[in-house]
Amino acid sequence: MPDGLLSALQHPLAQARGLPAEAYTDPGFFRREQARLWARSWVAVGAASDVATPGDVLPLTLAGQPVFLARGQDGILRAFHNVCTHRGLLLVEEAGREKLLRCPYHAWAFDLEGGLRATPHFGGIGCHTLEGFDPADHGLKPIRLAQWNDLVFLDLSGDAEPFEAHAAPLVARWADYDFAATRPAGRMDFEIAANWKLLVENFCDTYHLPFIHPQVNEYSKAEDHHDVIDGTIVGTGNRTATRDGAPVLLPPFPGLPAGKARLGEFLTLFPNVLIFLMPDHYFTVTVTPLDEGHSTERLDFHFVGDGATAPEHAARRQALYDLWAELNRQDIAIAERLQKGRVSRAFDGGRFSPALEAPIHHFQTLVARMMEEA
Ligand code: FES
Ligand SMILES: [Fe+2]
């Protein structure tokens, strides 16, 4: 187990040292991180609207483990380990809609609620039962699942704190926003040659705005930002995040207080989902590690009311997609170059600007704590 991660961070900010280069480049660190962090946290894995209809199934990988989401005939969304309880075949290979999940190897069948429904010929040809074998004991193994709006979270360990406690800082902070008034709209996917932490850290980074995003910094200025650091949430915000003091482009969240008419907040719910909240839309960026040097990002956009679908708003929606995609491409180029720099043996963890990089320090502290916790 690596040691000293936390102790290097635990200094006054101006003297603290960040996570070492190995945390971003070493396959051994990545494996430990899968076991200690990804398998023991509430991890965002996808959207409930991906599996909207009873019978929908969707295979995923979480912390190196095959899992799948399933919408039961009762309409409830569940998650299971993706393995047949007979001899261990991968049960669900691709997304689909099924009444029963039939394992192709020996035709055991599971319902979408996880129950084992058929074990043909298990007692011998023509005999489908076996003395002492109770199918009720051999159903699929469930995984804890929670939802925040359309986002689905899983806790592989079953031991993470209750999701309500995990998400409480986020829910409390954005209590003024009526997320029920939003509808899912566009989606974008990116694959990035960088460690997942570099992506999260860059989203919390106010310091780079004037240099990497001059087009936004003209109106959403770095000097007007505020930090948000509250337990599981970390990020930044700006009270003047819309262009040139203009009103928002699309229908805004209903009943927003006047002080929030131009507010943008950009928060990470630890460990892996960034949520960009604007007065007329929000989008989530779900970061998923592939290995120590590669990650994916999935962006899911949500607009308020008919902002999501009305044809008269199509051009404005497209303008927002174009803006965020352009900003994200600028960030991806930086993240990939950070990854290349992290290979250097001369990098000692680096230093933080107390005025501009406290959120990154907090994020790294959360990582270090999980890596060093018993
Ligand atoms: S491994 Fe699935 S039925 Fe045998
Ligand atoms: Fe950026």
Q: Is 260 in the pocket of ligand 1 (CB under 6 A)?
A: no
C-alpha distances in Å from residue 169, one per residue of 149, 232, 267? 15, 7, 11
Q: Is the pLDDT of residue 3 over 60?
A: no
pLDDT higher than 70, residue 2: no
pLDDT at position 218: 78
Task: State the CATH architecture for 43-148.
Answer: 3-layer Sandwich (2.102)
Residues 6 or more apart whose CB falls under 8 angstroms from that of 210 comprise: 217, 222
- Given a cut of 90, whether residue 220 has pLDDT beyond it is no
Q: Which CATH architecture has domain 5-41+162-372?
A: Alpha-Beta Complex (3.90)
Q: Which ligand is in closest contact with the Cα of 119? A: 1
pLDDT tens for 229-241 read 999 999 999 988 8
Whole-prediction pTM = 0.95
End-to-end CA distance of the chain: 10
The whole-angstrom separation of Cα 278 and Cα 275 is 10
Atom index in ligand 1 nearest the CA of residue 88 equals 1
Quote the mean pLDDT of the chain.
94
- Parallel, antiparallel, or unpaired for β 225-230 and 56-62? unpaired
Interatomic CA distance for residues 113 and 117, integer angstroms:
10
- How confident is the model at residue 1, as a pLDDT? 41
Q: Which ligand is nearest to the CA of 108?
A: 1
SS3 (DSSP) at 59:
strand
24 lines ligand 1 (CB under 6 A): no
228: phi > 0 → left, psi -120 to 50 → alpha, else beta; which? beta
Looking from the CA of residue 89, the nearest atom of ligand 1 is 1
pLDDT above 80: residue 244: no
In the structure encoding, which two tokens stand for residue 220, read together? 């959403």
Residue 245, pLDDT above cutoff 90: no
> Closest ligand 1 atom, CA of 103?
2
Q: Would you kindly state where each structural domain of the chain is located, as residue ranges?
A: 5-41+162-372, 43-148
Segment 93-120 shows an average pLDDT of 98
Q: Give pLDDT tens digits for 287-311.
A: 999 999 999 999 999 999 988 889 9
| Residue 59 CA to ligand 2 centre (angstroms) | 31
Rounded average pLDDT over 149-155: 97
